[in-house]
Amino acid sequence: MASRRVGVIGAGYVGLTSAACLAHLGHDVVCVEKETSKVDLLAAGVVPIAEPRLEELVRQGLANGRLRFTTTRERLASAEVVLLCLPTPMGRDGAADLYALESIMPTLASILAPGCVLVTKSTVPVGTAGRIAELLRRPDVPVVSNPEFLREGHAVQDFLSPDRIVVGSAAPEAATRVAELYTGTKAPVLRTGTASAELAKYASNAFLAMKLSYVNVLAELCERVGADITDVSRTMGLDERIGPLFLVPGPGWGGSCLPKDTSALLNAADAAGVDFELLRATVRANARQQAMIVRKIRDAVAGSSAGSLQGIRIGLLGLTFKAGTDDLRDSPAIAIAEELAAQGALLTAYDPRVPATGNRGLPRIHVVDDPYLVAKDAVAVVLLTEWPEFRELDWAQLAAVTDRAVVIDTRNLLTDETLGGTGFTHIGVGTPISADS
Ligand code: UDX
């Protein structure tokens, strides 16, 4: 494999994972990040995000000299490939905001070496590669789309053992150079035009969101007709055309990607004159799901879905948008907590990745560092994130300190084995209520 000199711009989830993994694959990587404090931490081998194996790979790269961090963009001058890993947040109109990406082009134009390949790695709307090429005004620098498909909590694994790699480019040599960066991973490489690669990323995430909204609405139907979503989704999942993953109902889908990507794809469809009603319904169903969970909680603690939550003490287990991450961005758990607080509930929360100190901008939630404190005097415990350790809690001890032993399990994480004999009433999503008395 040809070892390449690679530049990575941005040391967020995508940039840092890409930089560390490419160094691990044998490339010579310089990662440029504008925040000095972050660069100092990373250069000392400290990774500020919780991502399995990432710190190990960063330290390995620093130790063998294949990975460096800097704030100096000029260090990209010797790179043969430069990966753009800058944030593309949701803008006010729902479209992706490309400011970070576009504003750096004049600087890059003056730095990049002749023949360097510029790669868009962060999720960008269809047409961005062309737009970047226009702004860059460097015909000798081809722009290639090579979107990431990294799940938080599995980013290193997803980078090193991906299901597929898509390389979109009109320039075959540039595409080959980018594809060869991944020699050593065993994934199929799909070569496409830039628009297809850009769209494929949105299409994948929007499809996952659709699958989740589908199963969430199906769960509600299960409750109405006396079916159990666990059995229904297991039956569906054994059909190879459907597959077993992304069929667990929950409090709604969230995180830093699915909400922003569905919104950006809707925006792109609107702009192209395509009525993507299916995707619009997917997003609507997600908002409804959060409202449905709030109603379910009200039903359980206030006796009816119209009952008041004023002054009612509720314990929350989990705040992150899913297990395996410390990320609170667009977390359905937070959205639901905020709504409960707005309706007057008194909230105590525990999350294994959210420290009690500082409260991370959650003024209406009393975050504690002991899960048993969450249950203390609570009228109900609401499980919002599927942390496996919640199964291992001593539920009998939780029952002993609660006001009423009711758990609303929005992730269907707990089983009869976990709760059996504890006295807890278990209210899941799309499953029959089981009262243990
Ligand atoms: C996602 C994509 O999966 C990844 O490929 C992409 O490139 C980045 O965005 P991530 O944001 O880390 O990854 O989250 P993901 O694991 O996809 O979960 C998204 C949401 O769906 C979470 O809120 C999660 O809790 C929820 N979910 C997932 C369910 O409710 N049920 C499931 O069965 C699976």
**pLDDT tens across 62-110, in order?**
999 999 999 999 999 999 999 999 998 888 887 889 999 999 999 999 9
DSSP assignment of 6-51: EEEE--SHHHHHHHHHHHHTT-EEEEE-S-HHHHHHHHTT--SS--
Which atom of ligand 1 lies at the shortest distance from residue 158's CA?
5
Which pLDDT score is estimated for 385? 98
For 381, the token pair is 């415990």
| 212 touches ligand 1 (CB under 6 Å) | yes
Any atom of ligand 1 within 6 Å of the Cβ of 322: yes
Average pLDDT of the residues in 381-408: 96
**Cα–ligand 1 centroid distance for 329 (angstroms):** 12
- In eight-state DSSP terms, residue 170 is S
pLDDT level of residue 246 (50, 70, 90 thresholds): very high
User: Is the model's pLDDT at 33 over the cut of 70?
Assistant: yes
Looking at residue 390, what is its pLDDT? 98
Rounded Cα distance between 217 and 292, Å, is 10
For residue 291, is pLDDT > 50?
A: yes
Lowest mean pLDDT among 72-81, 137-146, 233-242, 304-313: 304-313
> Does position 436 have pLDDT exceeding 70, yes or no?
no
Beta strands 365-367; 346-350: pairing state: parallel
Q: How many residues does the chain have?
A: 437
Please compute the mean of the pLDDT values over residues 250-257 and round it to a whole number.
Answer: 96
Least confident range of 73-82, 83-92, 159-168, 229-238: 83-92
Query: Mutate which of 146, 151, 320 to test ligand 1's pocket (most atoms within 8 Å of Cβ)?
Result: 151
Q: What is the pLDDT of residues 323-378, one digit of tens each?
A: 999 999 999 999 999 999 999 999 999 999 999 976 567 889 999 999 999 999 99
| Percentage of residues of the chain with pLDDT beyond 70 | 99
Name which residue sits closest to atom 34 of ligand 1, judged by CA: 246
The Å distance, Cα 255 to ligand 1 centre, comes to: 7
Distance CA 199, CA 267 (A): 13
- Residue 401: pLDDT over 70: yes
Give yes or no for residue 289 having a pLDDT over 60: yes
Q: Is the model's pLDDT at 294 over the cut of 90?
A: yes
Which ligand 1 atom lies nearest to the CA of residue 411? 30
Tokens encoding 239 = 């059909």
Q: Please indicate whether residue 152, judged by its CB atom, sits closer than 6 Å to ligand 1.
A: yes
Residue 152 alpha carbon, nearest atom of ligand 1: 12
Q: How far is the CA of 437 from the centre of ligand 1 (A)?
A: 36
Mean pLDDT of 221-243: 98
Q: Which of 416 and 213 is assigned the larger pLDDT? A: 213
pLDDT at 437 over 60: no
Q: In whole angstroms, what is the distance from residue 346 CA to residue 311 CA?
A: 6
Per the CB < 8 A criterion, the answer to whether 108 and 82 are in contact is yes
With both helix axes pointing from N to C terminus, report the angle between 128-136 and 194-225 in degrees, rounded to the nearest 10. 150
Instruction: With cut-offs at 50, 70 and 90, classify the pLDDT of residue 1.
Output: low
**What atom of ligand 1 comes closest to residue 256's alpha carbon?**
11
CA of 258 to the centre of ligand 1 (A): 7
pLDDT at 84: 98
Measured CA distances, 15 to 3, 80, 123, 198, 304 (Å): 19, 17, 12, 17, 48
- What is the pLDDT, as a whole number, of residue 357? 76
Catalytically active residues are 257
Q: Average the pLDDT over 9-33 and give the result.
A: 97
Q: What is the mean pLDDT of the chain?
A: 95
Ligand 1 atom 28, closest CA: 246
pLDDT score, position 307:
84
pLDDT digits (tens, 9 = 90+) for 258-280: 999 999 999 999 999 999 999 99
Centre of ligand 1 from the C-alpha of residue 209, in Å: 8
The response to whether residue 111 sits with its C-beta less than 6 Å from ligand 1 reads: no
Q: Contact 297/380 with Cβ under 8 angstroms? A: yes
